[in-house]
Structures are given as structure tokens and as C-alpha cells.
Amino acid sequence: MTNNGKLIISELLGTFILVFTGTGAVVFNEISGGQVTPLGIGLVFGLVVMALVYTLGDISGAHINPAVTLGFWASGQFAGKQVAPYILAQCSGALLASLLLRGLFGIHGNMGATLPIIVNDQPLVYECLILEIILTFILMFVILNVATGAKEKGLFTGIVVGGVIALEAVFAGPISGASMNPARSLGPAVASSNFTAFWIYIIGPVVGSLLAVPTWRFIGRSSESTEAIKPN
């Protein structure tokens, strides 16, 4: 198998594991009458990402998220020719995971689909769009800062990224679903045939991720300037 094939399989497998466990927690919470709990669901998402970063990071980078792939490409750290294959692999892995969950357990909890909360009989669509932009901005900003630089900082990448995802999933999950990942939203939407406001889970994460790149560059340049003027 070519090295490129290994990268693609790594991303497909990683996204499959992410969606199977993360949205599986939502499905199992519904089946068990709430025994997993919203806090447990958030922790599952964070812990599985942490595990995948350490397991697959040295192979494919463990993007497991089209928005992250686009962010790395925009930052100049990922080849443009690899963007489409990575995103296709990620979406395929998510679809396989959600369809397998449906085949095994049927439709429960909208298969973990990310849906905007309904308040006064109206879904908070645009509020959730902005929330998804902010959430993904934070995630990509953190990833860019911990995945580059000192080797010692890189050793903690999985813990930091997994922690941020768990944090955001716990506090924002009840409002927007805290997707931050178009592939993670695609799989459950297809499996449950529920595409309510699905577009916000494509646009929000992509915009948030791309906005993080110039911010990261600005902060980096500012840090270099500050270091340069320090007295010896």
C-alpha cells in the first residue's frame, strides 16, 4: 500500500471511531434512559479525540475533521492536493459509523445529529451558526498553537485538544450540538434523514476554522516581535 493510501485509511478509520463512539454515546444515552448523561457524552468526544491524536497523529495528523484539514491548508501546513482526499475519507468514515449504528440499534436520539435548540417553538438557527463559528475558531486556534512549536508542547497536543473538545461539547452541546466538524454532522444527518438546519454545521465550522488562521499568524508575529525587543 502506498503512503498516501495509509494516510487516507488513517483519516477514514479515525473519523469512523470518532463518530461511532461520540454519536454512539448519544444513541446509547437515549436507549438507556439517560444513563450516559450530557456530561458523559462530552467526555466521550473529548477522550476519543485525545486517544486518536496519539494513535494516528504520527500517521495522518489525525485531522478527523474537514474544518481542521481546511484550517491546516489555509495555514500553509498541509498540501492542497491532499485536501479533497482527506475530506472524502473523513466523510466516508462518518457515514459508515452512523449507518452501522443505525443498523445495529435503529434510530434513537436522531442518531446523534447536531440540531439547533428550539426556544419558543423556533430553532435558534442563526444564533447556533455564530456559536459554531466561535466554537470551531477556538478549537482551530488551540490546535494551531499546540500542534506547532516546541517539541515539549507537542507532547501534550492530544490532552489539550481533547480537553477543548470536551469542554465545548459539555457547555455548548445542549444548544447547537457543538459539532465543530462537518463530517461528524453529516453521518448522523444521513442516518436519521434529519437535515434540519444542516447548512450551519458546514458553514459554521469552516468559517470558524479559517478565521483562526490569520489570528494565529498575528499572535505568532506579535510574540516574535516581543521576543526581539527583550533586553539581553
pTM of the prediction? 0.92
For residues 187-209, average pLDDT: 97
User: What is the tally of structural domains in the chain?
Assistant: 1
The pLDDT of residue 227 is: 41
SS3 of residue 49 by DSSP: helix
Check: CB of residue 133 under 8 Å from CB of residue 228: no
The pLDDT of residue 147 is: 81
Pairwise CA distance, residues 145 & 147, whole Å: 6
- Using pLDDT thresholds of 50, 70 and 90, give the confidence band for residue 232: very low
Q: Check whether 126 has a pLDDT greater than 60.
A: yes
Check: CB of residue 29 under 8 Å from CB of residue 169: no
More reliable by pLDDT, 121 or 204: 204
Instruction: Return the ∠ at Cα 141 (arms to 160 and 63), rounded to 5°.
Output: 70
Residue 122, by phi and psi: left (phi above 0), alpha (psi -120 to 50) or beta? beta
Burial of 224 (0-12, 13-18, 19+ CB in 10 A): exposed
The pLDDT of residue 31 is: 96
Alpha carbons within 13 angstroms on the beta-carbon side of residue 164 total 20
Instruction: Return the ∠ at Cα 59 (arms to 54 and 62), rounded to 5°.
Output: 55
Instruction: Output the domain CATH number for residue 19.
Output: 1.20.1080.10
C-alpha dist (Å) from residue 11 to 81, 102, 109, 172, 210: 15, 22, 26, 26, 20
DSSP string, 177-202: -----HHHHHHHHHHHT--TTTTHHH
Q: Domain span at residue 83?
A: 3-228
Check: CB of residue 14 under 8 Å from CB of residue 56: yes
Average pLDDT, the chain: 92
Check: CB of residue 78 under 8 Å from CB of residue 72: yes
Q: Check whether 225 has a pLDDT greater than 70.
A: no
Check: CB of residue 169 under 8 Å from CB of residue 45: yes
User: What are the contacts of 220-223 at 24+ separation with CB within 8 A?
Assistant: none
The pLDDT of residue 152 is: 43
pLDDT tens by residue, 45-86: 999 999 999 999 999 999 999 999 999 999 999 999 999 999
Q: Check whether 230 has a pLDDT greater than 60.
A: no
Rounded to the nearest angstrom, the gap between the alpha carbon of residue 117 and the centroid of all alpha carbons in its chain is: 19
Of 209, 211, 201, 63, which Cα lies nearest the Cα of 136?
A: 209
For residues 133-148, average pLDDT: 94
